[in-house]
Chains A and B, each alone.
Chain A
Amino acid sequence: MTLNHQHLSADSDRRSFLKKLSLAVGATTAAALATESRMAQAFYFHQPDGAGKRNHALFNDLQKAVLFELCDAVLPRTDTASATEVDCHRFIEHQLVHCHSKQEQENCVDILNQIEARAQKENKQSFTLLSKEKQQQLLTQLEQQNGFSSEQKAQFTFLKVLLVFGYFTSEVGASQALNYQAVPGGFKGSIPYTKNSKAWGSKDLY
């Protein structure tokens, strides 16, 4: 595949995604969510890999929209970027398809459906249309197993940990939200640490 083809395919994917996202969350929101720069990075995960073609569409449009909202409810913008600003929603789908089992994929689909169903039941509204506070309340109830089972909590925790992994292995997450030492220059066994200072974002091999 040439570079041009990749661009074409990414662009048509992007437009079709925008269209679908609009259907789920409304055109204005979709446009605001999907800024050019964000989408350009998002579609990095859609490029073909060496291991052969895979069905990339794990989530339907509604599930994608719920996931998008969930990402920023869990890791919102603070003094650093939010989860969707570094494309965690795209990363999660990509990573589930390429590095996780069918069962894990299905669990994630399932918990997104459960979250949406709860929002509809309690608020008569899609999770995607709730305020950030309401969304966070609902997810907190889920973690506290308030009206949710321990199995559902486990499904959510798995998804949340994957989100955290995606965020802190992104460039922004590893080097802005955390301190990144590419080449430390040596090991010091003790340096001062004050509360609220950043942890290392640079990791060992494993």
Chain B
Amino acid sequence: MTEKLYINETTEVFDAIVVGSGITGGWAAKEFCERGFKTLMIERGRVVEHRKDYIGESKPPWMFENRTKVDNLLVEQQHSVQKKCYAFTDATKHFFGNDRDLPYTTEEGTGFDWIRGNQLGGKSLLWHRQSYRLSDYDFEANKADGEGIDWPIRYKDLESWYSHVEKHAGISGSKENLPQLPDSEFLPPFEMTSPEKFVKGEIEKHFPGRNLIMGRTAHLTQPTQLHIEQGRVQCQARNECQKGCSFGAYFSTQSSTLPAAAKTGNLSIAPNSVVHSVIYDEKTKKARGVRVVDNENLTTREYFGKVVFLCASTIGTTQIMLNSTSKAFPNGIANSSGALGHYLMDHNYNAGAYGKIDGFEDEYYSGRRPSGIYIPNFQYKPSLYKKGYKRGYALAGGAGRADWQSTGWSDGIGADYKNKLTQAGDWSFGLYAQGEMLPRYENQISLHANKKDKWGIPQLHINCKWSKNEQLMMEDAAETAKMMLQKAGVRDIQTHVSVYDNSPGLAIHEVGTARMGRDPKDSVLNGFNQCHDVDNLFVTDGASYCSSAVVNPSLTFMALTVRAVDYCAKEMKAGRI
């Protein structure tokens, strides 16, 4: 990468402006650049260089003053929200937002934990890497049970684009031919442990229609020539991914899409550029570019382009749109429908069951697998719904042997206790629910009437909560997981339901708020992620979702993005944009 890659002031009119550098922004930039479009990627945070800036990587716990825990004064002052994320440690905290500078409010009686990754690469550095295609059962769910509006696309619209991104990103997994979970272009799956193979056999025997498979994850279990050319090598099974991976073994902007985009010579990056709003031209009825506030010195500047792709994360993108007001759009750009900001969703990770399993005491495993086992949603159409609530959930989990982290809690003093802690203990097996959240009009993000952040941008106000549907689903999921484990011979099973304690947000799968749809009266985007009201403005991140579905969304963000770029590029060449 050259110095020229990073720009600040410029008068150039780019072919394409991409706001955001995370999973969607990286893909949008790569696809435009490879089509010969001069592309500007705008990132609100600092530059993070692959390898060089992974400052927590390879450091063992004893190299951290607090053994990877984060100092509580620092947490209190700067990371009061981010601390709730499972991946927030002293080794990763520099990739999380600083809550002191990123305030937002929530409606009384509600809460929302907004996890931020404001740097080049965004949350692609921090993601959990689980990668699944949506199926037609997902695209048809809203239509089938009447919750939300119908997705304007179907599986066949995305199928080839899934293949396109999977070959480049590298997705490991096993072919299963399941109706509700289409197969990807796979690298070999990670191995299961013996208890996992055993439980798979028992569950599939006792519960027809429920399958236990290896989690599909964006890791190079066996890199192809294409991956080697990106400078990436095989996954070493450290499972310390969120520190950054110099092997480039998991997909991130830095490891995969950015080098491909930069190689074309068509990419420019404007780091430290907080997008304030989209500039709208009332005469041409087009977006002309974006207004930016400098992240560090708070000066303002503008960037211009022929098309603007918003890939700033679900909530970030909608915040920009709400703040882009004009005579034509007093309530936010491309918001003639009034749907902008509504139908916020997350996934509901708030139930589970685990217990002990006997019989594998002479076996262990080697390496730290960056994935778990996965039981795909088995309530994927109305005829399979449980009584009392709609939709379904997946169960993720796995088996492992106890070590000092759990045996340390047992009674014991002295040498015997110490020796016990140095050995592998009982096998345990857990299943944890990942539930769908219904699209509800009331779950809304809006601009605060008077509070602003340090860049002078109105703060967000979030009004979002679980409904009865999500609560009942978690109650059922805990009991169902328990029943499945019991049948599989797991003993001493404990369950938990935390949907009454945890607010939405922590699955970090926020989607919706600028949804796609066929009718401009009730949706913001058409079936190509193009704004109904402004034809050169696209939203390809999670904001475009019509329903949350059950599976992890990032792979679909990628596929939606590359499809939208392909469409946009053709429309531009045909002179229609």
Measured CB to CB, the residues of A under 8 A from B are 44-45, 47, 49-52, 54, 73-76, 78, 80, 91, 94-95, 98-101, 136, 139-140, 143-144, 157, 160-161, 164-166, 168-171, 174-175, 177-178, 180-200, 202-206
Contacts and interface: CB of A to CB of B under 8 A. Distances in A.
B418 interface: yes
Contact of B60 (A101, A143, A182): A182
Interface of B: 58, 60-62, 65-74, 77, 86-87, 89, 91-92, 190-194, 196-197, 234-243, 361-369, 401, 403-405, 408-409, 411-415, 417-419, 421-425
A188 B60 contact: no
B368 A78 contact: no
Contacts of A199: 401, 403-404, 422-425
Given A161-B409, A169-B68, A186-B234, 6 more contacts: A52-B73, A76-B414, A166-B67, A186-B237, A197-B423, A203-B61
B387 to A, nearest CB: 36
Contacts of A178: 403-404, 422
Contacts of A161: 408-409
Given A98-B71, A177-B422, A202-B368, A183 B362 contact: no
A188 B367 contact: yes
B60 A174 contact: yes
A190 B60 contact: no
A44 B65 CA distance: 8
A192 B69 CA distance: 33
Given A183-B238, A205-B89, A188 B71 contact: no
Given A182-B60, A184-B237, A187-B366, A51 B92 contact: no
Given A50-B74, A164-B404, A192 B62 contact: no
B365 A174 contact: no
B413 A205 contact: no
A187 B66 contact: no
A10 to B, nearest CB: 14
A205 B242 contact: yes
A187 B236 CA distance: 8
A165 B403 CA distance: 11
Nearest to A157: B409
27 contacts: A44-B65, A51-B71, A75-B417, A76-B414, A95-B66, A98-B69, A98-B71, A136-B413, A140-B413, A143-B413, A164-B408, A165-B67, A169-B67, A169-B68, A175-B60, A177-B422, A178-B403, A178-B422, A180-B60, A181-B368, A189-B190, A189-B197, A190-B193, A190-B365, A192-B363, A199-B401, A206-B87
Nearest to A185: B236
Given A189-B193, A199-B422, A204-B240, A184 B363 contact: no
B410 to A, nearest CB: 9
Contacts of A204: 239-240, 368
Nearest to B61: A169
A205 B71 CA distance: 17
Contacts of A191: 363-366
A78 B419 contact: yes
